[in-house]
Amino acid sequence: MKRHIITFALALAVGVSLVAQEKTPSKGFTIGKWIEVQNAIRYELNRSYVDTLPVARMERAAVDALLENLDPYTVYVPEEEQEDFTMMIGKTYGGIGAIIYKPEKDGNVIINEPYAGSPAARAGLRCGDEIMAIDGETTHGLTSQESSDKMRGKPGTQVVFKIKRVYSGKEEDVTVTRERIHLPDIEYAGMLNDTTGYIYQSGFTEGVSTAVRENVLKLKEQGMKKLVFDLRGNGGGLMQEAIKIISLFVPKGSMVLSSKGNTPESEEKFYTTLDPIDTELPIVVLVDSGSASASEIVAGGLQDLDRATIMGRRTFGKGLVQGIRPLPYNGQLKITVAKYYTPSGRCVQAIDYASRNEDGSVGHIPDSLTHEFKTAHGRTVRDGGGITPDEVLTAKEYGRLVYSVVLNGITDQYALDYVRRHETVPAFEDFHFTDEDYKDFVAFAKDKKFDYRSDAKASFDAMKRQLEKDGIADTMKEQLDAMEKALEMDKETFLYIEKDELIPFIEEEIAVRYWFQEAGIKVRLRYDDQLKEALTRPLI
């Protein structure tokens, strides 16, 4: 009897399951249903709504809301946003090659950072020069974005600026021919010492693998016996460029990546097709929580093939492949089409989007939720989100004031002010911010608006607000007042306390103004404790 009951129950369960499956609508039916519902809503709104409909704004919001329910990388790009989209993914635009600063809407545009070798630099524009007019139209009354838009344009076209020179005050017209500006992915390459080469790469746009190849060969000519390949903060880019970079260091024909989506054509394995330049060179790859996508392909591929030692912090955890699909009216859809997997079979995509840190990188994931994989030499690596380094390095932590000063542009503004008052400075190698210089910075910064509370004071303020909300602050008033008084600190005092942390940022900003962007990287390397630690760690 018991057996018959169990058999009947199983049959009933299977029957219910089959009925449920039969009643589950297909994806095509569901999409068609909601298109019909949405069109009906649009019809009724157009026919009956009391006020004028902001149709374009409504439809754009509807499209954005539709895509927001998916991953963060699937987005709609209308025709009018193509230029910004191209700049974002390709780091290219038509213009003069300079960063501008416009502190006042009714003031002049200020040249803040011309790029090395750019049309702006070749035309003699330098930091501190003021643009009074663009093609005969005054810059007064224009926003920073409006000014930038007027400076950009089709490569080969000319733009005429009325300039007020930073040191002489002389006014003159300067004609600049716009070019296709490409911000380099290799921001610096050089020797750290007699035998260690260093490459800092900030992106993966078209052609970067060729630049990496050229720089590796140059460094080898200079005596490089070990390479430090810095991908910290590199948010990724083109998958094919990542594959080509791996191919520089592994045997031709190596499988370095695979992808899998929801269609058979999305399943693919990628092999190196180029001859390597060096399969024995010791390599350190530096990564952090800002290293994502193509950076993780390179780090994960070289790690799985036991071809490099990965050092730093766990990477971002973006294991998704995007494609570009054309849409009506010259729009585009950047859509996630697959997940990618490193040679060992790992997917670096975070298990879920909820388990992330404040910066968006992968949060803590217990080993029980991850899987083990083996590298070419049998070492254990795990999936679950990002690439875990072979050697974890100490992360630099800054005080709250440092973030506030830098993110509020105080160091940037000071550098511009410094340039205006110093036409010449010592050679780069001899340039260091002195105690007297820092005194000058404090005098400048203390009158600027920024949140100068310490971490402790900020935490205290939050606690006090909560106590007030709970209605018990009055019972602790004496203790709270005493603690608040102890934590109070004026701007000048706090700026001196954070002197050692702020000086590197100030030096970097000033160096860029006199010697262009590469000099800023060199200054950063002076104070890069994580890099110095990496040079002492053993390699696999």
Rounded CA-CA distance 74/338 in Å is 12
Token pair of 176 as six digits: 């600049």
254 is catalytic: no
Among 129, 230, 288, 304, the one annotated catalytic: 304
Spatial contact of 232 and 288, defined as CB atoms under 8 Å apart: yes
Rounded CA-CA distance 380/104 in Å is 57
Rounded CA-CA distance 306/287 in Å is 16
SS percent in the chain: helix, strand, coil, step 5? 45, 20, 35
With residue 174 as reference, give the H or E element that holds it. strand 171-177
Q: What are phi and psi of 523, to 5 degrees?
A: -65, -45
Rounded CA-CA distance 93/87 in Å is 6
- Looking at the chain, the number of H-run helices and the number of E-run strands are 17, 21
Token pair of 308 as six digits: 């490099």
Rounded CA-CA distance 162/131 in Å is 6
What letter represents residue 522's amino acid? Answer: K
Strands 283-287 and 226-230, bridge-based pairing? parallel
Rounded CA-CA distance 199/184 in Å is 12
3-state secondary structure of 451: coil
340-357 core/surface letters (b: 16 or more CB in 10 A; e: else): bbbbbebbbbbbeeeebe
Alpha-carbon dihedral sign for residues 489, 495, 496, 498: positive
Max intra-chain CA distance, the chain: 105
Among 91, 244, 318, 457, the one annotated catalytic: 318
252 is catalytic: no
304 is catalytic: yes
Cα 14-15-18 angle, rounded to 5 deg? 85
Rounded CA-CA distance 24/35 in Å is 18
Please return the burial class of 268, using the count of CB atoms within 10 Å of its CB with bins 0-12, 13-18 and 19+. middle
Among 209, 293, 295, 361, the one annotated catalytic: 293
Q: What are phi and psi of 263, to 5 degrees?
A: -130, 150
Catalytic residue numbers, as ranges: 293, 304, 318
